[in-house]
Amino acid sequence: MSEPDSAFARALAWLRQTWNQAPPTLKQRWPWFIAGGAVLGFLVVIATRSSTPEGEGGQGPTATQAEGRAGSAGEGDPGEPGSAPVQPPLDPKATVADAGAPLSPNVKLTFRTFPPRRATVHWGNKRLGFIDRGKPLVIERVRDSGPLDVVVRSPGYLTVHARAYTFNDAIVDVKITPVEKKDTIYGYQQPLADAGAPELFPIAP
């Protein structure tokens, strides 16, 4: 007998022995166990898919690639607070028109906050939706239909006014700053030392 045949014979012998030692319940109701295993496996696959960002809104391949590029730029796990850079760069590829390929009529805009926090995104009177930890807000707009000026609000953080362009699929990473750290943002006006006494500098020339 050849070697493969010997292995096959050994495997059959092992299965026969295992079946003989199995509990009587399993022997009687084995179809139910197989069906239950299949359902459990299906649920595990669904749960795994829905926990990834690209599950939100059912983005196509372009959005998935954009996520991958942004992630590879060193952003770390979006679910881990503090692992994100202070000012994530825009992805230039997300904004370059692909002149050679036929363009889809719509673009996908992905809104995220850094650090990842729950936030609402408003466009004028309209609430576009929520950003949640690890779950960006993804919306579709007609390509080249003009920009979206949105307001991003997160409890405990300063409100941010941001813009999303519709030339291409784009990821809008919005840096949010705790209210108590507003003095770290450019444009913060330091208070006058003494509000009462005039402290004029002489004119230089």
Q: Where are the alpha helices (DSSP H) in the chain?
A: 3-21, 24-28, 30-50, 61-72
106 binds another protein (CB under 8 A): no
Residue 163 binding another protein, by CB under 8 A: yes
d(CA 167, CA 169): 7
Q: Which residues contact residue 179 at a Cβ distance below 8 angstroms, ignoring those fewer than 6 apart? A: 156, 157, 158
**Which residues, 6 or more positions from 53, have their beta carbon under 8 angstroms from its beta carbon?**
67, 78, 134, 135, 136
Shortest approach of another protein to residue 133 CB, angstroms?
A: 20
Kindly report the backbone phi and psi dihedral angles of residue 70, in degrees, each rounded to the nearest multiple of 5, phi listed first. Answer: -65, -40
Stretch that binds another protein, among 7-15, 23-31, 54-62, 194-202 (CB under 8 A): 194-202
Does 89 contact another protein by CB under 8 A? yes
x/- map, 141-160, another protein, by CB under 8 A: ---xxxx-x-x------xxx
Q: Measure the CA dihedral 107/113/117/122, to 10°.
A: -60
Report the residue from 7, 26, 46, 90 that binds another protein according to the rule CB under 8 A: 90
Beta bridge partners, 172, equal 111
User: Using the rule CB under 8 A, is 201 a contact of another protein?
Assistant: yes
Shortest Cβ 56–another protein spacing (Å): 22
Which residues of the chain form contacts with another protein (CB under 8 A)? Answer: 87, 89-92, 95-97, 99-100, 123-126, 144-147, 149, 151, 158-163, 165, 167, 170, 172, 174-177, 179, 182, 185-193, 198-201, 203-205
